[in-house]
C-alpha cells in the first residue's frame, strides 16, 4: 500500500500504552474528510442515504444529521432503532423481515411514529406476513416497502420483470403497507478500472429504469430509487433520474480492500487496528493478539495490511492469534505495537464493543458500538 511521505506515520498515536489491544481506532479528521467527500459526490445531502452497517455508531449518525443527512439505510432492526433514537428521520431496513422480525419492524414503526420506517421485500408471502403483523398492531403508522431488485449480484431480490410488477401490485393492494419505491444493490460491481466499472453499472441499472417505465404506464409510479454501494456511488451520483438516492456505506471508514481496488476514489482509510506482539515463536516470526475475534476472517489472507510492517506475510490465523513472517523480527520486542488496516472493515467493526477516537495523534475518547447488538429495546 503506497502512502505519501507526509502521511507515512499518520496512524501512530502518542498514548498507545494506554490502549488495551486488540483495539479498533478511528481517526476523526479522516472520518470527517470522508463524510465531506460523500457530500461532494452526492451534490446535496438530500440525495444521500448512507448505510450505517459499517460503523453502527450513534455519534456518527448524529454527525451525519448535523451535515443535513436525514435518510439512512441499515442491516438490522437494532441498527434501525439506534438510528431512530439519534435523529434519523427516514430509515430503511435493507433486509426482508421474516419470522418475528416482521412484528419487530411494526413495533419499531409504532414506537417512532415521527420517523418513516421502511424495509425491503421480494416475496409475496413475506409481504403478506408483514401486512398481517401491521394489521394486528394498534398503530396507524404505515410500514413502507421498497421492492428489492436483483440486478446481477444474485443474493436477494427479484429480476426487474413481470414478477416485480406483480409484487408491486400486491404491495399497493394491501392497505397496511405503502409502496415506497425500488431498491437495487450492485455489490457485484467493483472493477478497478473506472470506465469498466461505470459500463457494468450502467448495464445493470438499465433494466431497473425499464421497470420504472413499465410501472408508470400501469399507473404505479415509483417515487424513489435507492441504488448502489460505495464502489458505484460516484457513478449513480452522475445520474439525473428523479427520486434517486445514493447509499454508500464503507466510504465512511474505507478499508484496505477498497483502498487497493478503487484507487480512483478519494476516500481515506479511517479505521485502524492496534495490535501487539505477544510472542516471538522462532526466527523471523511474530505472534500478534489479532485473531479471528478481532478482525474479519471471512476471506482468504491477507486479512489486514500492516501500515508499519509492509513486508509482513501471514502464516497462521486462529481465534486469538495472528502469526506473521517479517524480516528483522528481532527488532520487535514482545509488547510492541503494530498498526494495520482491516481488509474488510464492516464485519471487523462488529467484532468490537467500542472504538477509540483519535484526534491530533492521541486517543481521546471511546464510543460504544451500540448497534453491534442484535437487539436493543425492540
Q: What is the mean pLDDT of residues 182-189?
A: 98
Is the CA virtual torsion 38, 43, 44, 46 positive or negative? negative
Identify any residues that bridge with 286 across adjacent strands, giving them in sequence order: 324
Q: Residue 235 gets which letter from DSSP?
A: H
Distance of CA 2 to the CA centre of its chain: 25
Please give the pLDDT value at position 25: 98
Q: What is the mean pLDDT of residues 272-288?
A: 97
> Of 65, 122, 112, nearest to 85 (Cα)?
112
pLDDT tens string 207-220: 999 999 999 999 99
pLDDT tens string 307-336: 999 999 999 999 999 999 999 999 999 999
Three-state secondary-structure class, residue 146: strand
Q: Which three cell numbers stand for residue 213?
A: 417505465
Q: pLDDT > 90: what percent of the chain?
A: 96
Q: Which three cell numbers stand for residue 287?
A: 505472534
**Residue for grid cell 438490522:** 76
Q: pLDDT > 70: what percent of the chain?
A: 98
Q: Is the pLDDT of residue 2 over 60?
A: no
Please give the pLDDT value at position 141: 85
Give residues with Cβ within 8 angstroms of 311, minimum separation 6. 326, 327
What is the distance between the alpha carbons of residues 244 and 46, in angstroms, rounded to a whole number? Answer: 10
* Residue 256 CA neighbour count, 13 Å, CB half: 20
Q: What is the mean pLDDT of residues 296-316?
A: 96
| 7 confidence band (pLDDT: 50, 70, 90) | low
- Look up the pTM and report it: 0.96
Amino acid at each position: 500500500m503506497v502512502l505519501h511521505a507526509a502521511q507515512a506515520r499518520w496512524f501512530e498515536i502518542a498514548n498507545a500504552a494506554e490502549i488495551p489491544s486488540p483495539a479498533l481506532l478511528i481517526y476523526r479528521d479522516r472520518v470527517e474528510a470522508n463524510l465531506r467527500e460523500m457530500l461532494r459526490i452526492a451534490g446535496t445531502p438530500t440525495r444521500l442515504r448512507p448505510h450505517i452497517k459499517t460503523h453502527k455508531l450513534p455519534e456518527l449518525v448524529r454527525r451525519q444529521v448535523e451535515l443535513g443527512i436525514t435518510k439512512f439505510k441499515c442491516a438490522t432492526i437494532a441498527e434501525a432503532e439506534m438510528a431512530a433514537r439519534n435523529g434519523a428521520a427516514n430509515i430503511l431496513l435493507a433486509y426482508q423481515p421474516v419470522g418475528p422480525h416482521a412484528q419487530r419492524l411494526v413495533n419499531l414503526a409504532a414506537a417512532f411514529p415521527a420517523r418513516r420506517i421502511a424495509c425491503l421485500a421480494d416475496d409475496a408471502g413475506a409481504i403478506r406476513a408483514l401486512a398481517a403483523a401491521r394489521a394486528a398492531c394498534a398503530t396507524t403508522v404505515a410500514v413502507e416497502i421498497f421492492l428489492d431488485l436483483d440486478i446481477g449480484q444474485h443474493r436477494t431480490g427479484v429480476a426487474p420483470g413481470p414478477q416485480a410488477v406483480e409484487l408491486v401490485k400486491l404491495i399497493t393492494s394491501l392497505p397496511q403497507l405503502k409502496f415506497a419505491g425500488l431498491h437495487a444493490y450492485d455489490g457485484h460491481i467493483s472493477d478497478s478500472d473506472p470506465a469498466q466499472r461505470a459500463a457494468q453499472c450502467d448495464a445493470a441499472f438499465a433494466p431497473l429504469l425499464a421497470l420504472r417505465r413499465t410501472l408508470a404506464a400501469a399507473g404505479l409510479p415509483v417515487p424513489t430509487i435507492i441504488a448502489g454501494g460505495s464502489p458505484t456511488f460516484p457513478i449513480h451520483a452522475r445520474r439525473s433520474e428523479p427520486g434517486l438516492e445514493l447509499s454508500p456505506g464503507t466510504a465512511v471508514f474505507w478499508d484496505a480492500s477498497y483502498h487497493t481496488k478503487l484507487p480512483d476514489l478519494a476516500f481515506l482509510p479511517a479505521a485502524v487496528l492496534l495490535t501487539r506482539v505477544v510472542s516471538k515463536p522462532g526466527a523471523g516470526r511474530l505472534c500478534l493478539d489479532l485473531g479471528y475475534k478481532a478482525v474479519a476472517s471471512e476471506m482468504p489472507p491477507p486479512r489486514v495490511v500492516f501500515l508499519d510492517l509492509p513486508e509482513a506475510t501471514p502464516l497462521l490465523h486462529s481465534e486469538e492469534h495472528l502469526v506473521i513472517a517479517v524480516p528483522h523480527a528481532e527488532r520487535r520486542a514482545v509488547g510492541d505495537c503494530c498498526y494495520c488496516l482491516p481488509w474488510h472493515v464492516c464485519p471487523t467493526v462488529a467484532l468490537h464493543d467500542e472504538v477509540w477516537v483519535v484526534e491530533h495523534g492521541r486517543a481521546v475518547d471511546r464510543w460504544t458500538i451500540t448497534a453491534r447488538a442484535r437487539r436493543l429495546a425492540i
